[in-house]
Amino acid sequence: MKAVYFTQHGGPEVLIYGDLPEPQAQRGEVVIRVRASSMNYNDIWARQGMPRLPVPLPHISGTDAAGVVVEVGEGVHNVKVGDEVMAHVLQSCRVCPSCLAGEELFCRAMQVWGFQTGPLIGGYAQYARLQASQCIPKPAHLSWTDAAAIPGALVSVWRMMVTRAKVQPGECVLVFGASGGTGTFAVQLLRAMGCQVVAVVSSERKAELCLSLGATHTVRSDRQDVVREVLRLTDRRGVDVVFDHGGITTWSQGIACLRWGGRIVICGATEGFDAQVDLRVLWNKQLSLLGSHVGTHSELLASMAMVNSGLIKPCVTEVIGLRDLGDAQVRMQNRQTLGKIAVEIE
């Protein structure tokens, strides 16, 4: 099969487009013929290598995928050959107390598929092996590229805003990175929930995209003081909730933008993890700091209801081939991309 993989960590030059053996389904697993995948920032983290988070080598990235089941392993009863499916990004043991309670994020064996799994288990290939429990039905109205753009980003947003922050209608939410893969889902989800959305972006093109998705206001981080502008827009009250995945560059700004009693939710540290907080501000303003991760299987199914109703649509702005992944990763690192980049796999 054709795939993109790497055998050592480094820059985009380590990516190899070539032939690999097709995977075989083991007990509890399926193999899908991948029709499309989509890019995430963890593609870059895996390729570069991360301290204290070993990535199995050789490695195929790609945590989001959609395709057709072509093989089922022993003990699989929830899907059959020929089913069109989307892959939930989490793998877990399925039998521990956390898994049985529907909180597989707390499973000691939890892994993000196509990021921590391997060797050679991910979505940037013509065929991919995954746990049968990861499969959810692909809605018939979605294209393959739209379907592949959904799982990881949308379920992460749902867990952040619905499960962790418990956002309520009428609240004002500040969204950092609003024009990216997770950000575009966040803007749509929050507007569907009846919230005001202040979208932080770094260009006019990104601002126009967020406004078209329903953002109430945009703040240009490339030419405006984010904190000052947010306080102006909220009559110096501040926002109820901050949606953040940037890390060190946006953390202090988010804290400063919160109203008294506000809450900030973070699901990543794209631009650095060594952030600081003034504890006097934390206790005096009675702020809530919330960590989040990708969501559970049940949360993905809940969020898909909004896709099926038309309230949320994948924001695929570009479709590329496997050979184009290196160039696209460079553009993603340089903040030159919008929404989700889908990878069509022939």
Residue 71, pLDDT score: 99
CATH number, domain 2-150+314-344: 3.90.180.10
What are the angstrom distances between the C-alpha of 199 and each of 50, 142, 322?
A: 30, 27, 31
Give CA–CA dist 286/263, Å, rounded.
9
Q: How much is the pLDDT for 288?
A: 98
What is the structure's pLDDT at 94?
93
What does the alpha-carbon distance between residue 178 and residue 104 come to, in Å, rounded to a whole number? Answer: 28
Nearest Cα residue to 271 out of 201, 335, 317, 328: 335
Q: Which of 335, 328, 322, 346 is nearest to 60 (CA)?
A: 322
State residue 270's pLDDT score: 75
Check residue 39 and give its pLDDT: 98
Check residue 275 and give its pLDDT.
83
List, as one string, the DSSP characters of 98-118.
Answer: HHHTT-GGG-TT-EETTTT--
Domain boundaries 154-291, CATH class = alpha beta
Which among 114, 108, 57 has a CA at the least distance from the CA of 87?
A: 114
Per-residue pLDDT of the chain (346 residues; tens, 9 = 90+): 999 999 999 999 999 999 999 999 999 999 999 999 999 999 999 999 988 888 999 999 999 999 999 999 999 999 999 999 999 999 999 999 999 999 999 999 999 999 999 999 999 999 999 999 999 999 999 999 999 999 999 999 999 999 999 999 999 999 999 999 999 999 999 999 999 999 999 999 999 999 999 999 999 999 999 999 999 999 999 999 999 998 888 999 999 999 999 999 999 887 778 888 889 999 999 999 999 999 999 999 999 999 999 999 999 999 999 999 999 999 999 999 999 999 999 9
Beta-ladder partners of 125? 3
Per the DSSP assignment, residues forming a β-bridge with 219 are 200
Listed in order, strand segments (DSSP E) in the chain are 2-5, 16-19, 29-38, 64-72, 84-87, 90-91, 111-112, 127-131, 135-137, 172-175, 196-201, 217-220, 239-244, 258-266, 288-291, 316-320, 340-344
Domains of the chain, by residue range, sit at: 2-150+314-344, 154-291
DSSP state of 301: H
Helix (H, G, I), strand (E, B) or coil at 316: strand
